[in-house]
Amino acid sequence: MHGHQLKLLAEEERVQLWTDISVGSLYGALKRLHAEGLISGVRIEQEGNFPARQVYAITDLGTDALGKLRDDGLSDFVLRPDPFDLALTRLDPERLDALPGTITARVEKLARILRNTIETNTRARPHLSLAEAYALEHREKRLRAEIEWHESLIAVLPDIVADERTRTHQPLPHDSKDGRAS
């Protein structure tokens, strides 16, 4: 296939529903795959006044690499560090009062993402294989778990803020300016 055919196939297969592959980055990816010997150019096609298009085929090396990626994808678990966790463990002592609002806004954003995901999945489900439907359900469940964890975080935020103030020697809101309890 040439790049445009692959782009149409990716859109038809709805790869954006369960991957972070951008259909717009396809041509750059084709160049990298070709440079790595995972695909090879087999011919150039030109229809009418359209530009000439390079047709690619997967190589034996590419088939092996694809098989390994598929096996790894099915057997490996990837849990990437979340920048949120780093930010939570290194709070700005001057902005502790803003933390509950920030976290609440984050939960609201996650809830919107979940609602949009459910709507998209509902529209897509009649056109999906059983495996594709399960992949989409996995995303929904991960979002639900993330929201549940954040809600538990909101419940302990007063304790986190108090702990941070103690650790940074900031006066608590009810303390007087000289640091003694009023």
pLDDT in tens, 109-158: 999 999 999 998 999 889 888 998 998 899 999 999 999 999 999 999 99
Task: Convert 131-165 to b/e letters by CB count within 10 Å (16 or more is b).
Answer: ebeeebeebeeebeebbeebeebeeeeeebbeeeb
**Does residue 171 carry a pLDDT above 70?**
no
Q: Which among 81, 145, 137 is positioned nearest to 107, based on CA atoms?
A: 145
- Whether 144 maps to a domain, the answer reads yes
Last residue of a domain, one of 75, 100, 135: 75
Examine the domain organization and report whether 89 and 156 are in the same domain.
yes
Q: What is the pTM of this model?
A: 0.71
* Predicted local distance difference test score (pLDDT) of residue 115: 97
> What is the Cα gyration radius of the chain?
25
The pLDDT confidence band at residue 17, using thresholds 50, 70 and 90, is confident
CA distance 160 to 138: 31
Last residue of a domain, one of 75, 99, 116: 75
| Residue 43, SS3 per DSSP | strand
Mean pLDDT taken over the chain: 88
Tell me how many domains the chain contains.
2
**Does residue 177 carry a pLDDT above 80?**
no
Examine the domain organization and report whether 14 and 44 are in the same domain.
yes
